[in-house]
Amino acid sequence: MNQNTYVVIMAGGIGSRFWPFSRVNHPKQFHDVLGIGESMIQTTYKRFNGVCPPENIYVVTHRDYINLVQEHLPELPESQILQEPIGRNTAPCIAYACYKIAKKNPGANIVVAPADHVILREEAFISCVKEGLEATAKDDILVTLGIKPTRPDTGYGYIQFIDDQHNALKKVKTFTEKPSLEIAQMFLDSGEFVWNAGIFIWNAQTILKAFRQHLSDMAETFEEGISVFDTQDEEAFISRAYSHCRNISIDYGLMEKADNVFVILGDFGWSDLGTWNSLYSLSEKTTEGNVIDGNVLLYDVNNCIVKTPQDHLVVVQGLQDYIVAAHDNIFMVCRREDEQKVKDFMADAKAIKGQNFI
């Protein structure tokens, strides 16, 4: 096992597109969404067991979720849990982890992955990761994993690549974030686009160089704190640093601007499980096309996903292609084709009904 390999698991999001099941006080990465007996963060952590030594795995999360991380990953030392004071999207999260790791090991080779993605074929996934690690250990490149699209999904980002049949790493041409249905279908038909899995591989020096070039303000902020990493002053510094950081994703802030980005095409049963339809597509269905998780009675119901508490009997009649979801103090009914509006529902619930409903 390579001592220079590190893994960063991002576990700070609230999964707003999966509301009301994913809530601010208990987001989806801490749920057993698929009913397999372990939470998503537990599955993700176990997935990387053979990739790097356990002391090289870091989890970045909001400080409000520290207790949840420790509850779900009791084997992870507190020193390997990086606390974000506020949510600022993925760029500051990745900068924090990579600058900290680079101080510890300037020759580090780093994998960055979300805590709440589904990987059905883990051996194929690990093969892609190791292929990326081998490439980034040698070359000054930024690698991302791309998934061959199976449908024109408007909830995913897309990566256009230059096809080089003699090289497993494809040069990235463009990034497109969440296109319209018509454009997504064009991407699918062209064969030149893959879904952006949001999983990255790079060596420490390459990503720090990229931050200096494309997110120089963020680079300056974290470089000021290098001397306090792994000291008692780290938490106070991070609180100050995050107050100066823009709310920006690593894709917008860096990957879309860099000219040394490559993609590895993967086929390992991936889903970001970010929406109700993604859960529907992964789940076992009844003969009527329904996905059921709960204590329910269904009459003339087809192609719906129904996820409700076991201690409530829910009766549904006459629906087709709907989401019926109940969790805690919220009950939601929404057309599956309108699943992207769930974030709006959550925002309206907060604005109109109050914090208790997010």
Q: Are residues 150 and 239 in the same domain?
A: yes
User: Do 264 and 307 have their domain in common?
Assistant: no
55: containing domain: 5-271
The pLDDT score that the predictor gives to residue 354 is: 93
279 inside domain:
no
Same domain as 139, residue 241: yes
Do both 143 and 60 map to the same domain?
Answer: yes
Residue 120 and residue 51 share a domain = yes
249/299 same-domain check: no
Consecutive H or E run containing 125: helix 122-138
Question: Which CATH number covers residue 260?
Answer: 3.90.550.10
Q: Which of 240, 271, 302 is the last residue of a domain?
A: 271
What local confidence, expressed as pLDDT, does residue 211 receive? 98
Task: Indicate whether 214 and 336 sit together in one domain.
Answer: no
pLDDT, position 247: 96
Who contacts 61 (Cβ-Cβ below 8 Å, separation ≥6)?
Answer: 10, 11, 12, 68, 69, 81, 82, 83, 84
Distance CA 332, CA 61 (A): 28
Q: β-strands 81-84, 142-147: how paired?
A: unpaired
Give which of 296, 295, 324, 298 is closest to 311, Cα–Cα: 295
Mean pLDDT calculated for residue range 315-343: 95
**Domain final residue, candidates 246, 271, 296:** 271
Residue with tokens 């201690």: 311
Q: Which of 248, 282, 5, 232 shows the shortest CA–CA distance to 116? A: 282
Beta bridge partners of 335: 322
Contacts of 211 (CB under 8 A, 6+ apart): 95, 98, 218, 219, 222, 254
End of a domain among 271, 300, 321? 271
pLDDT of residue 223 exceeding 80, the answer is yes
Is residue 138 pLDDT above 80, yes or no? Answer: yes
- Mean pLDDT to the nearest integer, 324-346: 94
The DSSP secondary-structure symbol of 106 reads: T
pLDDT digits (tens, 9 = 90+) for 249-259: 999 999 999 99
CA 337 to chain CA centroid, Å, is 22
If asked whether residues 243 and 292 sit together in one domain, one would say no
Q: 39-56: per-residue pLDDT in tens?
A: 999 999 999 998 999 999
Q: Is residue 337 part of a domain?
A: yes
Does 50 map to a domain? yes
* DSSP state for residue 349 in the 8-state scheme: I
Please give the tally of structural domains in the chain.
2
Whether 235 and 338 share a structural domain: no
**Stated pTM of the model:** 0.93
Q: Give the C-alpha separation, 46 to 73, whole Å.
A: 10
Tell me: do 236 and 347 sit in the same domain: no
Same domain, 122 and 56: yes
Question: Domain for residue 24, yes or no?
Answer: yes
**Do 170 and 23 sit in the same domain of this protein?**
yes
